[in-house]
Chains A and B, each alone.
Chain A
Amino acid sequence: MAVTFVEEVGRSSGKHPRGGRRLRARGRRRLSDAMFWLLAALLALPSVLPLLWLLSTAFKNYIETQVVPPVVVPFSLDLENFSSIFTPQIMGYFTNSVIVTACVLVLVLVLALPAAYGLARLNVRKAKDLQFWIISLRMLPPMAVVVPVYMMFSFIGLNGSLVSIICMSTMMNASFATWLFSTFFEQVPEETEEAAQLDGLGRFQTLVRISIPLARTGILTVMGFVFVFAWNELPFALVLSGQLTQTFTVFLSTFTSTNALINYGQMAAACVLYITPVIVVTALMQRQLAAGLSFGAVK
């Protein structure tokens, strides 16, 4: 049973048959359980060690970041790096990221939810081809897309505004979300919807009152991903942002090697600040993430 993205309605939940197996050879099983558990924990270690290094670097002064052997725990606990990030200007970049992400979340909901429902339920002609086209937009490399897009926004004079970044991020995420939303709506039992319609609800009300609440776990998980993707986006923002509309990822890109002096401590502090919301979202999505993401592709 993969993750349940849609609440069960009048179905038996298919739990794993447990119990019997457990009784046999319990001791041996326990030992091997412990070993595999340890192995799993070890496998997760490489994911988290570099992040701990990032955190430690955030508290180092410049010299501490540049010496060999490296300083592991910076006892000096230099907060200078963080205070140098909390300037109105750099917080302005942060605000831009917040605005872009919030707008993308709203737009994706407004555009993708009804469309996904329509594709799943409303006899749209060539629905399958449409779905393929929609998801294929998500497959395009952003840097190849942004060249044409730059030309277009430049023609209509929207370059350098947040609008252009929001539009592109919405396009990438709406295509991904529509595809997943429609797999969720397909799982909502049709009888439930038909019953609602017999009670006099229109299509739109059925969507809002029945289908969305039933698919809400799945929808929230996808929106969690949309948040992460929009928050992390760089290629569009790098090219399309203007002087006043830099997002935080563009600011992070200024710590590149063509910079004359990279203060790794400050860079790490900025990174730590910026990934904190992402880690919070990940923690909130833990149950869905840990249950495995099959994106509806499991039979």
Chain B
Amino acid sequence: MTTLTTPDRIRAQRTPHRPDSTRAARRAFVAPLIVFLALMSAVPTIFSLVTSLTDYKVGADTPVHFVGLANYVRVVTSPEMLATYGRTFLVVVIALPFELIVGYLIAKVFHRVHELRGSSLIRTVYLLPVMLPEIVVGLLFGYIMNTRVGVLGFLLSAAGLPAPDWLGDPRIAIFSIMMIVVWQWTPLATVILYGGLLGIPGEVREAAALDGAGRIRSVFSLEVPMMRKVIGLIALLAGVQLIGTFATVLVTTQGGPGTTTTVLSYEIYRQAFVFFNTGYGSAIAIITLVIVILLSQLLVRFAFKED
């Protein structure tokens, strides 16, 4: 399989001037998309930057004032807001490694049986959660994990195990949210890692085995380096998914108990579209966008850099 950045290599081999690669052709092919994406990303950002410097409230006829950086100052000095950023960070640093490690272990099992009859059906069924709307997953688990009438607690107590108050206990509610997210997205990591494992040629494995690499060692000396890009890709996709967690919280806990499950996307929604603190909401959104762009660029440069 080719890599992400093959165009460079191909281009290097190519004669520099080809009659049909004129500027006009390039424009006709590439420009519509670029223009569309630029319009949809740059223009809103300008609107939002301007709004974030004001005390504008959507839906109010009160006069709008320029307030400078006050909204940004409010974001970085509000303990509640900092806690919200911290909580979202916690979700990422716990759920992401979990998805990677568990996803990897399951991928190994799938790889072990990949030539057997029926295994492709098993993998497809296993992947189903990834294909579901987040809102459906949230509604379903809100019901299953309901402490009073949910089937999960019932099964646990029937088995003589303690049934925690999944979504109502302030100490564990955020972990329950993570459980739901992890249930939905670990299969994606698995299937990508599985693709990666298939991509390691048998000869390379055999060579490593001949070199006397043990099972554990071959994971770190062979598989991890060879799948660097795959792991980077999962980190990127899963990280984005985790930072964007919204519907799950909206339909299960509404950010509670207390504020223990108020994550970033949910807080942005509340500030901007429930309280209509549009200026403040814009400031949170801009800060979030800057953080996410920096992180994803770092990850992209690190994971996809050429050897």
Contacts and interface: CB of A to CB of B under 8 A. Distances in A.
Q: Which of B7, B109, B134, B250 has the most CB of A within 10 A?
A: B7
B3 A299 contact: yes
B36 A127 contact: no
A44 B296 CA distance: 31
B124 A178 contact: no
Interface stretch (B61-69, B70-78, B143-151, B212-220): B143-151
Q: At the interface, is chain B mostly helix, strand, loop or mixed?
A: helix
A132 B304 CA distance: 11
| Size bracket of the B interface | 35 or more
A274 B133 contact: yes
Contacts of B289: 140-141, 144-145
B90 interface: no
Contacts of A151: 44, 47-48, 51, 278, 282
17 contacts: A16-B115, A37-B113, A46-B183, A69-B158, A114-B28, A115-B29, A122-B21, A123-B26, A141-B265, A147-B268, A148-B51, A150-B273, A152-B44, A203-B29, A292-B192, A298-B196, A298-B198
B124 A290 contact: yes
Contacts of B18: 123
Nearest to A110: B32
Determine the interface band of chain A, counting residues with CB < 8 A from chain B.
35 or more
A254 B196 CA distance: 40
B127 A234 contact: no
Contact of A122 (B25, B34, B36): B25
Contact of A282 (B106, B131, B265): B131
A75 interface: no
Contact of B192 (A155, A182, A295): A295
B297 interface: yes
Interface string A213-251: 000000000000000100110110011000000000100
Interface of B: 1-8, 10-11, 14, 16, 18, 20-21, 25-26, 28-30, 32-34, 36-37, 40-41, 43-45, 47-48, 51, 58, 106, 109-110, 112-113, 115-116, 118-129, 131-136, 139-144, 148-149, 151, 154, 158, 183, 187-188, 191-192, 194-199, 202, 226-227, 229-230, 232-233, 236, 240, 243-244, 246-247, 250-254, 264-266, 268-269, 272-273, 278, 281-282, 284-285, 288-289, 292-293, 296-297, 300
Nearest to B153: A68
A108 to B, nearest CB: 10
Contacts of A106: none
A186 interface: yes
Contact of B124 (A54, A234, A278, A282): A282
A252 B136 contact: yes
B149 A67 contact: yes
Task: Point out which of A16, A141, A175 has the most chain B C-beta atoms below 10 A from its C-beta.
Answer: A141
B168 to A, nearest CB: 11
B246 A143 contact: yes
A288 to B, nearest CB: 10
A47 B128 contact: yes
Given A66-B149, A143-B244, A40 B122 contact: yes
Given A139-B292, A187-B2, A53 B122 contact: no
A70 B265 CA distance: 34
Contacts of B124: 282-283, 286, 289-290
B149 A16 contact: no
A135 to B, nearest CB: 8
Given A187-B2, A258-B254, A298-B199, 14 more contacts: A1-B199, A2-B196, A33-B116, A37-B119, A54-B140, A67-B149, A123-B11, A127-B11, A136-B296, A140-B289, A186-B10, A282-B127, A291-B195, A295-B233
Nearest to A190: B10
